């Protein structure tokens, strides 16, 4: 809960009854009701909140205010290894200055003098605290004195630490703590080599809706490169300590550029972010690339809606990757940030607000909107209205709020047969089918288009819940019975599902599921030849050839590769074959087990047969599937199995009325 209390007038807000609101409050109402003025008054501290009572205008630490024009992912420009080195040097200079010039260590030194310890401990009192009881007893000559010394010394060193941290910036404060944690030394005992060590990461901080990826990426690259160089030196017989790949990931986390791109993709955005050069200490500038075209795009060149969605994608990312310190306000005010968004994106925004901003970070959120779709998708308890001429906020039902937003709009019934909503079993399936449809769409002549909608939801850990074919059937039946003629369903065959007038089945009667289609042995063979030239011999591919030469292979050239792939996967020769047809007209006989093996088990069998493909999957289900679609098929859509095109055409050509 958050309580608002009127303190001073602001524009149209001249009075405001004290009001308690839920953690997420969505305010709607007609133009001129004062919604924006209310948010401005809260931001400026003219209407007080109980969670940030000291708020004043311009204070960004407690309350933040965004509208769609200010929620912009910033381009932070170039960043280099030299920047990090200079930051460490600046931290050491600041630390040394605070340590030497303020007398904060004198109380600790006085205690050390009283116990007769040598001058080396007077210059570095923190070293005494780092000594074991046995070593300290040896210096004091009496084990009984150890506890008394610590009892007097530790509070003085803690006070010194408090004084130092209080006089450093947030970035420096967190870096000094990181050095202390990494070296297992108290801050009072840190040495020059500790603070300047390149082996201790300096991730920096971020704003929840912005990005500071340049520093994060360069810091990770530098750690990775230093570790790789140490491994190389060790391989040459030199004395060097390094981490294995798994140890490195356990200590420093996965590559942040891969992590960021995963969340951007999950947000449904057609962009990827670049990564720094990994084998040299060069400067780096984050840039976006539009995945569908390969064209670089500056952050500032994103559309208004893309900027908002990208900002929310970054927010979800930062909730999962805590390497950088997130600067989190206590209250977040969002003034019509959904204005430039397509209505279908409202659910993404609301999910991020409720699950990430509130659920993960504990931030109170007050938002305004004129979007009926946002109101319709928001939790019932969150909806409030403002009415011109009436002070304060008024609790409202969804129906009443929607009536306010649609007053004056005639009641009409629209059936737009051009775009068809196709419900599928899970968010993962929706993403897969959407990617496949975008690839094959140019080869299909139709005035209609398909939009794939998940019946379940994706958890913060990446899993899917409330999924399944029964959900698809129920939702399609309910919506079509209610008069929606543009909804259809798409299921895997799974050896049992049958098509109906509104339900299509992928590869009905021939392949078990989507994995059996995408993991066609031809596509696995191309994946190996394309991405792992050194492993081509494992499937019988010999000689040097480019990917473009591979794309011109004939049936006779592909067949032995495909046969070997199948034998490696199933550990035996095929006893039965089926004909696999592809969009480019190619036809190959493949092991029938490729089509009938449980679709979820098939990926594991492929990875066991070709362990080097684990560098793609990284032990995460679905990674290999994404790779085949977004890289292999994106470069050669002609190799797509015909079952994909057939079901897309079927969905587009189905009659709207059953």
pLDDT at 634: 86
pLDDT at 414: 38
Rounded mean pLDDT, 450-469: 62
pLDDT at 475: 87
With 50 as the cut, is the pLDDT of residue 240 above it? yes
pLDDT in tens, 420-450: 889 998 888 999 999 999 999 988 888 788 9
Inter-axis angle of helices 144-166 and 81-101, to 10 degrees? 120
With 60 as the cut, is the pLDDT of residue 412 above it? no
Higher-confidence residue of 598 and 543: namely: 598
Please report, for residues 164, 262, 353, 625, the alpha-carbon distance to residue 519 in angstroms, rounded to integers and kept in the order given: 58, 21, 37, 7
pLDDT at 381: 93
Per mean pLDDT, which range of 159-173, 310-324, 557-571, 575-589 is the poorest? 310-324
Q: Is beta strand 503-506 parallel, antiparallel or unpaired with respect to 577-581?
A: unpaired
Higher-confidence residue of 261 and 656: namely: 261
**Alpha-carbon Rg for the chain in angstroms:** 31
Please say whether the beta carbons of 654 and 476 come within 8 A. no
Please say whether the beta carbons of 541 and 610 come within 8 A. no
Average pLDDT, the chain: 85
Angle at 318 between CA 312 and CA 319, to 5 degrees: 95
pLDDT in tens, 52-83: 888 877 666 788 888 887 777 766 678 888 88
pLDDT at 327: 63
φ/ψ of residue 227, rounded to 5: -65, -40
With 60 as the cut, is the pLDDT of residue 152 above it? yes
pLDDT at 348: 78
pLDDT at 316: 66
DSSP string, 239-294: ------HHHHHHHH-S-HHHHHHHHHHHTT-SEEE----TTS---B---EEETTTT
Domains annotated on the chain, with CATH: 2-62+329-405 (3.40.50.300), 207-312 (no CATH), 419-506 (no CATH), 514-640 (no CATH)
Please say whether the beta carbons of 200 and 211 come within 8 A. no
pLDDT at 319: 63
Which among 90, 9, 88, 71 has a CA at the least distance from the CA of 44? Answer: 9
Per mean pLDDT, which range of 10-14, 91-95, 458-462, 514-518 is the poorest? 458-462
pLDDT at 393: 93
DSSP string, 451-470: EEEESSEE-TTS-EES-SHH
Q: How many residues does the chain have?
A: 658
Higher-confidence residue of 48 and 70: namely: 48
User: What secondary structure, in 3-state letters, does 515-553 show?
Assistant: HHHHCCHHHHHHHHHHHCHHHHHHHCCCCCCCHHHHCCC
Return d(Cα 641, Cα 118) in angstroms, integer: 80
How many H helices and E strands in the chain?
Answer: 28, 22
pLDDT at 578: 95
pLDDT at 325: 59
SS3 of 580, please?
A: strand
Rounded mean pLDDT, 442-468: 68
Q: Return the percentage of the chain with pLDDT > 90, whole number.
A: 36
Burial pattern 374-403, b for ≥16 Cβ within 10 A else e, equals: bbbbbeeebbbbbeeeeebbbebebeebbe
pLDDT at 344: 67
**Distance from the Cα of residue 607 to its chain's centroid:** 25
Higher-confidence residue of 336 and 311: namely: 336
pLDDT in tens, 268-322: 788 899 999 999 999 998 888 998 888 998 877 888 888 888 777 777 666 666 6
Per mean pLDDT, which range of 241-245, 270-274, 557-561, 598-602 is the poorest? 598-602
pLDDT at 27: 95
pLDDT at 349: 84
With 50 as the cut, is the pLDDT of residue 130 above it? yes
Residues sharing a CB contact under 8 Å with residue 259, sequence separation 6 or more, in sequence order: 253, 317, 320, 321
Higher-confidence residue of 532 and 410: namely: 532
């Amino acid at each position: 809960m958050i309580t608002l209390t009127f303190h001073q007038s602001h524009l149209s807000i001249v009075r405001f009854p004290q009001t308690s609101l839920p953690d997420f409050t969505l305010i709607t109402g007609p133009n001129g009701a004062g919604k924006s003025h209310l948010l401005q008054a809260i931001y400026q501290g003219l209407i007080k909140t109980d969670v940030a009572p000291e708020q004043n205008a311009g204070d960004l630490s407690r309350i933040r205010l965004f509208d769609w024009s200010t929620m912009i992912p910033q381009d932070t420009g170039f960043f280099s290894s030299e920047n990090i080195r200079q930051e460490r040097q600046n931290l050491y200079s600041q630390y040394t200055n605070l340590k030497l010039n303020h007398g904060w260590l004198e109380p600790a030194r006085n205690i050390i003098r009283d116990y007769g310890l040598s001058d080396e401990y007077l210059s570095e009192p923190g070293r005494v605290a780092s000594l074991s009881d046995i070593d300290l007893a040896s210096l004091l000559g009496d084990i009984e004195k150890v506890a008394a010394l610590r009892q007097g010394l530790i509070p003085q060193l803690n006070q010194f630490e408090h004084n130092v941290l209080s006089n450093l910036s947030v970035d420096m404060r967190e870096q000094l703590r990181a050095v202390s944690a990494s070296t297992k030394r108290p801050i009072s005992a840190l040495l020059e080599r500790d603070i300047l060590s390149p082996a201790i990461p300096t991730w920096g901080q971020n704003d929840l809706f912005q990005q500071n990826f340049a520093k994060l990426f360069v810091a990770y690259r530098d750690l990775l490169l230093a570790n790789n160089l140490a491994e190389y030196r060790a391989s040459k017989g030199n004395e060097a300590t390094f981490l294995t790949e798994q140890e490195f990931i356990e200590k420093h986390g996965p590559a942040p550029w891969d992590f960021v791109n995963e969340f951007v993709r999950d947000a449904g955005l057609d962009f990827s972010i670049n990564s720094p050069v990994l084998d040299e200490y060069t400067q780096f500038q984050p840039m976006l690339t539009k995945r569908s075209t390969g064209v670089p795009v500056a952050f500032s060149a994103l559309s208004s809606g893309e900027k908002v969605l990208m900002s929310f994608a970054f927010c979800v990312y930062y909730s999962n990757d805590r390497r950088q310190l997130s600067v989190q306000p206590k209250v977040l005010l969002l003034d019509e940030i959904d204005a430039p968004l397509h209505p279908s994106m409202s659910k993404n925004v609301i999910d991020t607000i409720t699950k990430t901003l509130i659920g993960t970070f504990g931030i109170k959120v007050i938002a305004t909107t004129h979007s009926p779709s946002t109101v319709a998708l928001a939790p019932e308890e969150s909806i409030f209205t403002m009415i011109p001429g009436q002070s304060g906020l008024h609790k409202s039902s969804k129906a009443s709020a929607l009536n306010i937003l649609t007053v004056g709009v005639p009641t009409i019934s629209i059936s737009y047969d051009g775009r068809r909503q196709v419900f599928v079993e899970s968010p993962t399936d929706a993403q897969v089918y959407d990617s496949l449809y975008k690839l094959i769409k140019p080869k299909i002549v139709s005035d209609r288009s398909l939009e794939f909608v998940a019946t379940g939801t994706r958890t913060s850990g990446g899993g899917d819940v409330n999924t399944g074919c029964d959900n698809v059937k129920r939702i399609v039946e309910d919506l079509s019975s209610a008069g929606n003629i543009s909804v259809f369903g798409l299921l895997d065959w799974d050896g049992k599902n049958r098509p109906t007038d509104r339900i299509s089945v992928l590869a009905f009667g021939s392949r078990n599921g989507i994995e059996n289609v995408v993991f066609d042995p031809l596509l696995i063979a191309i994946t190996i030849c394309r991405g792992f030239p050194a492993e081509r011999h494992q499937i019988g591919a010999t000689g040097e050839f480019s990917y473009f030469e591979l794309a011109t292979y004939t049936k006779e050239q592909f067949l032995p590769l495909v046969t070997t792939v199948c034998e490696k996967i199933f550990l035996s020769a095929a006893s039965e074959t089926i004909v696999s047809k592809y969009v480019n007209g190619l036809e190959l006989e493949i092991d029938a087990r490729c089509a009938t093996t449980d679709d979820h088990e098939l990926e594991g069998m492929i990875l066991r047969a070709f362990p080097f493909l684990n560098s793609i999957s990284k032990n995460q289900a679905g990674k290999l599937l994404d790779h085949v679609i977004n890289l292999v098929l994106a470069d050669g859509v002609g190799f797509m199995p015909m079952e994909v095109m057939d079901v897309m055409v079927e969905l587009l050509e189905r009659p709207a009325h059953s």
